[in-house]
Structure 1
């Protein structure tokens, strides 16, 4: 992998070699970030992370603090998504310290939008460490910079993050009424920001769909929004969360009694999850298919999918999936569902 990344970087340097030194370094970093993002979208996480390894860049003559900030923020972004996919814990304190290392020299940053990215990343890192006051300070600083520059894509990202934080807090509290009050907030953001970022639009529509599925039980509306979110992810080529998108459609179809459609969505989810290594969605769709067969009095078929879920969860050392699979298999041994 290291050799492959070095070859890619060597090609970038050659393609930019006719530029001046400062322009050369800026172009190398810019193209590297673009290629890292492309690899991230294609769920090639190690490649995406290795491309922005600071050790490849620190010896460049024109290396600046701006380059370090941009590369480090991208690495943390890749790590965050990869850890979610592979069910790994994120070291939030280490991430915060990585970003704090840039603050002493931040006055040297000439591109204020780069500073805005550092501040936004710091805001997220502080919140992940439950240091809320500092999180709010850097949140305000970052938003102000992006508003001053008219960077609507970053504004959309920050607004989406704000609503999702509020949404998660309310979910943890089980406050259904307050969650329902988020519907007009999501709708406002979707309308205001949909021209600037399909990635964030997919994110917002999915979160809104979850409210219609879980809290308001409006399955038709949830289905519409989940389909829209999936279409956006397919359009921009964002693979990491496609298994979750297909499983969400399966969940809605299952609630609507459309078992064949639900099974089709869960099957697609599981196949994609196995392809990219998304641990949770290798087992979850199989458990759901098993539940469909159990609910339709087909315990033999249910057992087949519960067993597959158990094997996949065990292979990935996914403790929650193992427990859920074993619980369902035990359920099959009850009098009502006992297999012949």
Structure 2
């Protein structure tokens, strides 16, 4: 059996850490095509025996995150996303790191959730359905498992994320009280520990909830808060969705000038990040 060269492992770790930071930065800046191109090109390198398993898994999880964002914005086929998510879970199990296992479970939950959303949208079916119909059941199981692990590990950032993910499934099932309860838990934890990224989605979905309830003042407050938090977190890929949400809220309020302004901003941002069809593909944000 060939002996692993520790100096090579260290070199790979240094290089992959730098690669991770580059790809992560591209993701946040909305340069999805560049991030995907670099990550895909690096995959064969991860098979080198000198690459530490933890480094390989770290890149797999980031690749999965990229594919989730690309799938949500582009509504493409989810086959590769499923492959990468499953590989990440298997790698995490082999490594035995409970924190990374929880992250992989979360990725699997997101994969099943967004693949179901996209399939329903493409077939012109409503994305909200009663729990007994079984839609989103797999995603729910994965996110519950992730939450349980994260609670044991006291991973507060992960706990906040899992509460949001579980809340979004309750929302799809029409269980609004449970959804809001999880959104508020997610938001409270994110506020307590100042997790900027984790603050955003609970606010956005509370805006959607209050919009559907007809409370337009609350919807506007949460919608503006979500946009401000997203800008503060510096995550550009989902900014078009925040502007489209505000467009819908302003239309409901009869404020067409403000609605048009946010429509224009969403269109410009969608084009900038490489998804020009996004605005037309998402006519009603209550489907997300």
Instruction: State the SS of the aligned residue for 1:33.
Output: helix
Q: Mark the CA change 1:265 to 1:67 in structure 2 (over 3 Å): closer, same or farther.
A: same
Return the index of the structure with the highest Cα Rg: 1
- Secondary structure at the residue paired with 2:100? helix
> Superposition RMSD on alpha carbons, in Å?
3.2
Shift of 1:256: 1.4
Deviations 1:283-330 (A, max 9, x none): 479x89xxxxxxxxxxxxxxxxxxxxxxxxxxxxxxxxxxxxxxxxxx
The equivalent of 2:230 in structure 1 is 233
What residue is the counterpart of 2:217 in the other structure?
A: 220
Query: Which secondary structure state, in structure 2, belongs to the residue aligned with residue 238 of structure 1?
Result: coil
User: What is residue 35 of structure 1 aligned with on the other side?
Assistant: 22
Q: Could you tell me how far apart the structure 2 residues matched to 1:106 and 1:248 are?
A: 36
Paired residue secondary structure (1:217): coil
Instruction: Establish whether residue 157 from structure 1 lines up as the match of residue 161 from structure 2.
Output: yes
Alpha-carbon contact 1:146-1:152 (below 8 Å) kept: yes
State which of 84, 101, 105 in structure 2 corresponds to 1:119.
105
Specify which structure has the bigger relative contact order, considering alpha-carbon pairs within 8 angstroms and separated by 6 or more residues: 2
Unaligned runs of 5+ in 2: 1-5, 117-133
Residue 274 and residue 133 in structure 1: after superposition, are their counterparts in 2 closer, same or farther (change >3 A)?
closer
Give the C-alpha shift of residue 108 in structure 1.
4.4
Gap regions ≥5 residues in structure 1: 1-18, 171-177, 289-340
Q: Say whether 1:260 aligns with 2:257.
A: yes
Matching of residues 197-212 of structure 1 within 5 Å: 197-212=195-210
Does residue 191 of the first structure (1) align with residue 217 of the second (2)?
no
More moved, 182-191 vs 63-72: 182-191
| Alignment match, 1:44 | 31
Q: State the aligned residue count.
A: 258
Match of 1:328 in 2: none
Sort the Cα spacing of 1:164 and 1:100 in 2 relative to 1 into closer, same or farther, 3 A.
Answer: same
Instruction: Give me the whole-angstrom Cα distance separating, in 2, the residues matched to 1:273 and 1:103.
Output: 32
Q: Distance in 1 between matches of 2:89 and 2:237?
A: 32
> Is the CA contact (8 Å cut-off) linking 1:69 and 1:118 kept in structure 2?
no
Question: Displacement of 1:163 after TM fit?
Answer: 0.8
If the length of structure 1 is used for normalisation, what is the TM-score? Answer: 0.65
Matched-pair contact (CA < 8 Å) for 1:167–1:182: yes
Tell me what 1:59 maps to: 48
Q: Normalized against structure 2, the TM-score is what?
A: 0.75
